[in-house]
Chains A and B, each alone.
Chain A
Amino acid sequence: MSGTWRDRSQQSGQSPHQDSVDLPDRWAIETQGLTKRFGGRIAVNGIDLAVPAGSVFGFLGPNGSGKTTTIRLLLGLASANSGDVRVLGKKMPAALASVLSDVGALVEGPGFYPFLTGADNLRRLDSADPLAPSETRKQRIHEALDQVGLSHAAKKKVRAYSLGMKQRLGLANALLRPRRLLVLDEPTNGLDPQGTREVRGLIRSLAAGGTTVFVSSHLLAEVEQMCTHVGVMSVGRLVAQGPLEELRSAGQSGVRVLTPDVDRAKNVLTRLGLVPQPWDGPSLAADAVLATGLDGREPETVVAALVADGVRVRGFSVESASLEDRFLSLTGEGFDVAG
């Protein structure tokens, strides 16, 4: 699937022949055969991740599918059993010290000293980075707190923070310096709707400024709203990755017909090769028919056939498959967490 990536460097007028050259800035994250075992259990199973520079990459997967473990491997917190990792063009974990300064990360929830204030926590983490200039520290902390809307709570002890405030502080830590890559693991966890929306806006504006954002989530609606590219994990494997539109269009699209002549409409649609769905969702009223399998047929021909057969069409719409449908078809419907 990687051959069909929307290639930003080509869009901006670069020669496509440079594809063969190993450009350090084409992929923000690149893995080959990345594998991690815990005892006998394979947590990450030979994944080939390719995150284009400048993208907002949604890293999807059910709980326990290996998302966080993959992120730990990418950032050198854990070492892989086999496979290669390149982050910002450099091999990890060999180049860890020089790469991580350019990477802001939020991994598996925020972690802070409860007995320090929000600002002091950021000061602590910033002084742990030998490349962070201490002259601008105060200013950068102030700006980062401002960016996540925590200025008023900067002098409060983290002990008194709510989960959402800690999450914001975690984001502020990721934003302490200008970063080329942000790795955000469930960034909207614990946030209220306003906070969720602000984070989405923040990610969009950072991406607009050229930062690559790698965001793991199980909130599909969120990913649909802010990501340009998507990768889907299932039981330790990367089962799909590519531009969001591509992934979505790979699912089946269908039609929705509003009509009092439900049975007649179903017959016509079946004759045309579509598959009427038994559907009991609240979105479907008694006078509507939902059918999948449009498969490139012109929607207007479907309407014409319906009308020709005397179906009273009150409404007609083309329904593209939602990311959720695609996600479930890739990762399975089961509710049980993969062991």
Chain B
Amino acid sequence: MSRVERGRTKGSGDTAGSPEAGPNSGRASVAWPLLASELSVLFRRVRTWAMLAALAAVPVLIAVAVKLSSRPTAPGRGPLFLDRISQNGLFVAVTALVVCVPLFLPLTVGVVAGDTLAGEASIGTLRYLLLAPTGRTRLLLVKYAGAVAFCCAATATVAAAGALAGVVFFPVGPVTLLSGETVSVGEAAVRSLLIAAYATVSLIGLSAIGLLISTMTDVPVGAMAATIVLAVVSQVLDTLPQMDWLHPWLFSHHWVGFADLLRQPISWASFGDNLLLQGGYIAVCGALAYANFSNKDVLS
């Protein structure tokens, strides 16, 4: 080692004594570049786009099926609002969300949330992210943020494809709400967005569950499957009257409760309940995921 070199290493040794790496300490907590990178990796995967395309296909299929069907849909048959589509295209998006919330959306969110850490572990990038060094807490937060971003993209995709299909195939006009009032097209579009937001909130608890499961394994497919199975189990339990004591605690309990958003004035009660419930799941699963991941031996 040359003298110059020794001077350098000694110098950095001296700064080690001062409170953690002086000039950079302010940037140490910055997660934005990593978040940007996370989103870019997520949305550059073919898989992500394939799932969004599949979700976009749902409202289009519904619209085409209703359009091609000769007889009008009897009220009360098929998914909620299906009978209204042929009179007003704005209901395509709402109907598609009703159809997607129980299975298709949890399926795609389960894939993304289950993949968060287990996917990185399985291809060996987890150790390099940690060695970069990404702090474990930061990585966990960024991974969760990525999953939530996908939830937003997924519901937005259904709503947007639904709106587009509705405009293309059916007449669009003022919408009669469940409470009887009629609102303008613009107001109805806002209601559609609110329902999409409601569905997004419904999925963020599931994302936290997926993240937790993802910290437990190096096999992404296992974490995805487990997350999706839990989403189904939760909904099945919610239908069993024998388990009614459990119902308020099931993360899927409020999933389809967005009819209140189609009343005048809007009843925010179920939105708030849903938010509170999902927040609870985020807190519990997030804490467990942190406890599990922060001290985990990364051996992948």
For B134, list chain A residues within 8 Å (CB): 128-130
The distance in angstroms between the C-alpha atoms of A69 and B3, with both chains bound, is: 34
Of B36-44, B75-83, B156-164, B247-255, the one touching chain A: B36-44
Knowing A101-B133, A110-B124, A128-B132, say if A134 contacts B9 (CB, 8 Å). Answer: no
Of B23-31, B105-113, B188-196, B236-244, the one touching chain A: B23-31
A210–B9 contact, CB under 8 A? yes
**Interface size range of chain A in the complex:** 35 or more
For the A-B complex, the count of residue pairs with Cβ-Cβ distances under 8 Å equals 127
B297–A77 contact, CB under 8 A? yes
Knowing A75-B131, A105-B131, A114-B123, say if A180 contacts B297 (CB, 8 Å). Answer: no
A72–B37 contact, CB under 8 A? no
For A24, list chain B residues within 8 Å (CB): 13, 16
Would you give the 0/1 interface string for B109-126, flagging 1 where the beta carbon is closer than 8 Å to chain A?
000000000000001111
Which of A8, A9, A130 is close to B27, meaning CB atoms less than 8 Å apart? A130
Nearest-neighbour CB distance to chain B for A101, whole angstroms, equals 7
Knowing A77-B298, A98-B21, say if A25 contacts B124 (CB, 8 Å). Answer: no
The distance in angstroms between the C-alpha atoms of A98 and B25, with both chains bound, is: 9
A96–B133 contact, CB under 8 A? yes
Would you give the 0/1 interface string for A126-148, flagging 1 where the beta carbon is closer than 8 Å to chain B?
11111110100000000000000
For B70, list chain A residues within 8 Å (CB): none
| CB nearest to B15 among chain A residues | A98
For B6, list chain A residues within 8 Å (CB): 9, 12, 25, 210
Knowing A111-B123, A123-B37, say if A100 contacts B133 (CB, 8 Å). Answer: yes
B41–A210 contact, CB under 8 A? no
For A125, list chain B residues within 8 Å (CB): 125, 128-129, 132
B45–A72 contact, CB under 8 A? no
The answer to whether the Cβ of A113 comes within 8 Å of any Cβ in the partner chain is yes
Which of A12, A72, A115 is close to B299, meaning CB atoms less than 8 Å apart? A72
The distance in angstroms between the C-alpha atoms of A24 and B123, with both chains bound, is: 36
The distance in angstroms between the C-alpha atoms of A115 and B49, with both chains bound, is: 13
Would you give the 0/1 interface string for A49-64, flagging 1 where the beta carbon is closer than 8 Å to chain B?
0000110000000000
Could you tell me which residues of chain A, from 82 to 125, have a CB within 8 Å of some CB in chain B?
89-90, 95-98, 100-103, 105, 107-116, 123-125
Q: Chain A interface (Cβ within 8 Å of chain B)?
A: 8-9, 12, 23-25, 53-54, 72, 75-79, 89-90, 95-98, 100-103, 105, 107-116, 123-132, 134, 173, 180, 209-210
Q: Chain B interface (Cβ within 8 Å of chain A)?
A: 1-3, 5-6, 8-10, 12-13, 16, 20-21, 24, 27-31, 33-34, 36-37, 41, 44-46, 123-135, 138-139, 295, 297-299
Instruction: Enumerate 6 A-B pairs (CB-CB under 8 Å) in ascending A order.
Output: A72-B299, A96-B133, A115-B45, A127-B33, A128-B34, A130-B28
Q: Which 10 A-B pairs have the closest CB atoms?
A: A111-B124, A210-B5, A100-B133, A78-B297, A24-B13, A128-B132, A54-B1, A127-B33, A129-B132, A128-B134
**Given A72-B299, A75-B131, A112-B125; 14 other pairs, CB 8 A cutoff:** A12-B1, A12-B3, A53-B1, A72-B297, A97-B135, A105-B131, A107-B128, A111-B128, A112-B124, A116-B44, A127-B33, A129-B133, A130-B33, A134-B33
